Amino acid sequence: MCLKVELENALTQYCNSKVIDSSLQTELTYGEIFKEIKRLERIFDDVDFKGKIIVFDFNENSINLVVLYLFMIVQEAIPVVLEVSGISSNLLKELPYFAIIKNRKSTLILESDFEFSNYETPYGAVLIKQNSFGMPTFADCALLLTSSGTAGAKKIIKCSSEGIISNIYSNIKSLNITSRDSTLLCLPIYYSYSLIGQFFSHLFQGGNIIIAPYKFVSFSLEYLLNYYKPTNFFTTPTQVNVLLAFNMKQYAFSLRFVAIGGGYLNRFSFLNFTKKYPAAVYYKTYGITEAGPRVSTYAIEHIDAPSFEPNYLGKPLENVTLSLGENAGNYMDFAINYLQISTPSIFKGYLLCGSESAQARLLETGDIVYGRENGIYILGRKSDYYTLDSTGFWSFEIEDLLFEQISGLLKIKISRNEEDIHIGIMKHPKIKLDYGEIIAPLNKRFGQSTMKNIIVENYNEQFVFTK
């Protein structure tokens, strides 16, 4: 299986399907994108991209990014999308990249150690390193994806054509995506769930793809849904809470489905979300980038929303098996274990960790789970478990407690030092929060003696909705 061949087949077979850029108010059919790729080939007829790393300096999802990204796949280059503009170039210094593609708003300062040949295209500038003799190529790698990694540090992951294609088609089957679907792309395309689970899964089936401005989607989603009337959109728990906090009107049309990836989504937020954004079915998906990235799907119909189980992982994708690995203790009456994933989409190693590679089909994860008769349930990672005195709790238990009691919450972040546990509260900027409202349910849960070691504080971060 070859990603280039699959892509070219999709662009020609579904030549009348469209990619629509809602910000630029422009669109291209798949057939027009294929023609643009051929035009770009003439511009770069003297350049060999095959097996070489191409960095996309990401600012926003756009049709320009899509055209150049697909062009690089057809060239059998190895694209990776990163937010590197305006920050230290240390990451770029570590990457053995051949070229970098700057977005139109790029403030990227390139390395002074190299000179670059500048190729201007209608879709952005492609800067190719001069004197790149000896630049490494990677034969068994088709894409580079990014992951937070088990320790929280960003890792760049090598993925093969066969693994990516297998994951795409398993995901298509799991979500029943067809050429009749049109999807609203609200998440940054560098997020592997967005790229593989949504973008490529619809592209390979000939669905229409509508690109939304993800940075301001909370302001524009209502308009975009009503104007374009997509059959589905993909989101994350943080984005769900942001949409609820902005108190949008109930969407008038029923979507075919909504897919929710990323981390834990509490039951209270899920139920409110289903009322605001009605869909025939909701897919709560689980994945890990090293596994392809899609792993399992929990499907729940709108009528069954009140019975939603937030910790349930759902049904594994085709050719994927979930199993219990090393014991990690107990939770209530259940033995808990580290999750193992067997998949043909296993990653090929980390780009900047040459000694660390994965060639087997079995992936040992840092996720702690327990098994029941109907499936596997996730608790979190070891770092998500906290103890105070003799009291132990998981971070999702605090999330359940606070989101049910307090409106306007966007995100909760828990950390600890030697003596205290810090609960960071990220809220809607226009909502005034009485911290007594937060202390009361915590005091009821832990007791006054334990509360002296729990510190509640403001927590802020850039509006990034990929977790």
User: Could you read off the pLDDT of 40-70 as tens digits, one per residue?
Assistant: 999 999 999 999 999 998 888 999 999 999 9
Question: What's the topology of domain 384-458?
Answer: GMP Synthetase; Chain A, domain 3 (3.30.300)
The three-class DSSP label of residue 447 is coil
Measured CA to CA in angstroms, residue 281 lies from 266, 285, 299, 377 at distances of 17, 12, 7, 20
Torsion sign across C-alpha atoms 338, 344, 348, 350: negative
Identify which of 227, 282, 220, 284 has the alpha carbon closest to the alpha carbon of residue 248.
Answer: 220
Between residues 309 and 137, the one the model is more confident about = 309
Q: Which pLDDT does position 208 carry in this prediction?
A: 99
Asked whether the predicted pLDDT for residue 158 surpasses 90, the reply is yes
Name the band, by pLDDT with cuts 50, 70 and 90, for residue 266. very high
**CA angle centred on 281, ends 280 and 283, rounded to 5°:** 155
Q: Which pLDDT does position 461 carry in this prediction?
A: 66
Domain ranges, ordered by start, for the chain:
1-11+26-139, 384-458
Name the band, by pLDDT with cuts 50, 70 and 90, for residue 109. low
Name the band, by pLDDT with cuts 50, 70 and 90, for residue 111. low
Q: The tokens of 253 are what?
A: 């049309």
- pTM here is 0.93
Between residues 378 and 249, the one the model is more confident about = 378
Rounded CA gap, 108 and 98, in Å?
16
Averaged over 424-436, what is the pLDDT?
80
Averaged over 378-389, what is the pLDDT?
92
Instruction: Dump pLDDT digits (tens) for 127-141.
Output: 998 876 667 888 889
Q: The tokens of 197 are what?
A: 């689970």
Across 80-94, 106-120, 222-236, the highest mean pLDDT is recorded for 222-236
Asked whether the predicted pLDDT for residue 293 surpasses 70, the reply is yes
Q: Which residue has the tokens 């027009």?
A: 32
Torsion sign across C-alpha atoms 137, 142, 147, 151: negative
Q: The tokens of 458 are what?
A: 């403001």
Give the pairing type, strands 294-301 and 279-287.
Answer: antiparallel
**Which numeric CATH code is attached to 1-11+26-139?**
3.40.50
Cis bond upstream, residue 293 (ω within 30) = yes
Name the band, by pLDDT with cuts 50, 70 and 90, for residue 355. very low
Percent of the chain with pLDDT over 90: 64
